[in-house]
Amino acid sequence: MKMAHLITNCTFSASPAVKTFSGSPSYCCNVGKLQNSKSLNLSLKSSSKREKKSYVTCASAAVQGQTQTPLTGSQEASGHSSSKPKKVMVIGGDGYCGWATALHLSNKGYEVAIVDNLVRRLFDHQLGLDSLTPITSIQNRIRRWKSLTGKTIQLFIGDICDFDFLSEAFKSFEPDAAVHFGEQRSAPYSMIDRSRAVYTQHNNVIGTLNVLFAIKEYSEECHLVKLGTMGEYGTPNIDIEEGFITITHNGRTDTLPYPKQASSFYHLSKVHDSHNIAFTCKAWGIRATDLNQGVVYGVRTDETAMDEELSNRFDYDGVFGTALNRFCVQAAVGHPLTVYGKGGQTRGYLDIRDTVQCVELAIANPAKPGEFRVFNQFTEQFSVNDLAKLVTAAGAKLGLDVHTKSVPNPRVEAEEHYYNAKHTKLIELGLVPHLLSDSLLDSLLNFAVQYKDRVDTAQIMPSVSWKKMGAKLRTVSV
């Protein structure tokens, strides 16, 4: 039987080397549960004994005697007084989007708790990958944030697929909003082999179901802000609406969920999530916002740029790296930009600074009880060829000799297609986009040049094939 572990809150001092403990009770789960779950079963033989060892991690980084931070105007408008900041649980807060969001919300005066099982770090270990930027531990990150700003971020380390753990986290923190990033987010990872496909669907679908049940049982007014993906829609030959489409068939008209054409086991898991969330809004009265996010680029927000220990991930490899980040790293090290197939694949893109802005807007303007609303979260549309041309031009201004080459497309997708997706709802709420300008590209390229000594060129080329994936467990590191 799964059990959560009762421990005391721990207080992190400004010095990252020192821990002291206060006496108030809190809860945390055993992180070893996820790393050894049968659904994953991916641990390297050389480290299996170490990973099987059970251990307990502090559930809170609360600091006694902290003064309350003032609220933003959006919080005051949403009815939360300065004496009681809105409490936001960021599930998956150690990841790329989650970390930036947690810091942004904390900086804006929200009371923030991170829930994470740290499995993203385990994936790097298993596959021989690493972020371009050095990433310190989540505990050091939170300590550094506290020392710089005086603001506390609580920490719950555990697996949301373990409902006992998640229940205790909800009961302990009592969130007003739950921002759900806590999913395996890579399409290539889900297509490596059967084990990763099963893990992706189990982790994403069951984890989201558990979040929905936790809201129903312990926090009925909690607003779920779920990070979906534009990939749920596929590339239809008609305009993509925001979540729903009105159609007339045989003389009758109805507004229905927009048809889904997912293109990987990862994207399929997100479609299942959307259906489950929509159903529980109808059946239980849950309030939910599904943010169908485009491809995110960039690494710095106002908060992550404050200190090197707060740095965010910068993935450039063939499993977790996105096209623009990958192109910038390739340009920095003199590797040809790898365009998959014909390069006409078109998607929505947005800056990481707009990701955190969109989440804050959704929280400050919550859905109504029983409402399932969908926002398409991106700011511009580019094809892969468009991005390659932009990076080539920006690289030339910096004296980089940038070339492009076409490589066989490892995915099963249309390489030339119509793509016109609507994205007006977040703009109407007040989103002020950071568009992909020459100055931003210069910044990304300079960032890649700064850390080019950390680049593993063996990880740049695609290594996962949609058609060649099989049942046998394998790694992708070269």
Which of the residues are catalytic?
229, 266, 270
**Would you list the DSSP string of 304-334?**
GGG-GGGPPP---STTT--HHHHHHHHHHHT
Contact 343, 467 (CB under 8 A): no
Which letter, b or e, does each residue of 39-74 get, where b requires 16 or more Cβ atoms within 10 Å of its Cβ?
Answer: ebebbeeeeeeeeeeeebbbbbbbbeeeeebebbeb
Contact 188, 252 (CB under 8 A): no
Among 171, 149, 173, 169, which Cα is nearest to 160's?
169
Asked if 356 contacts 101 with a C-beta cutoff of 8 angstroms, the reply is: yes
**Residue 440, phi then psi, degrees to nearest 5:** -70, -40
Helices (H) then strands (E): counts for the chain: 16, 16
* Spatial distance between the Cα atoms of 371 and 289, rounded to a whole number of angstroms: 8
Query: Side-chain half-sphere of 450: how many Cα atoms within 13 Å?
Result: 10
Strands 346-351 and 380-383: antiparallel
Residue keyed to tokens 């694949």:
345
Residue with tokens 């829930």: 115
What DSSP character marks residue 411? S
Half-sphere exposure of 223 (CA within 13 A, CB side): 23
Cα torsion 91, 94, 95, 100 to 10°: value is: 90
Distance CA 122, CA 127 (A): 9
Instruction: Dump strand ranges (E) for 206-352.
Output: 223-229, 244-249, 252-257, 287-293, 295-297, 337-340, 346-351
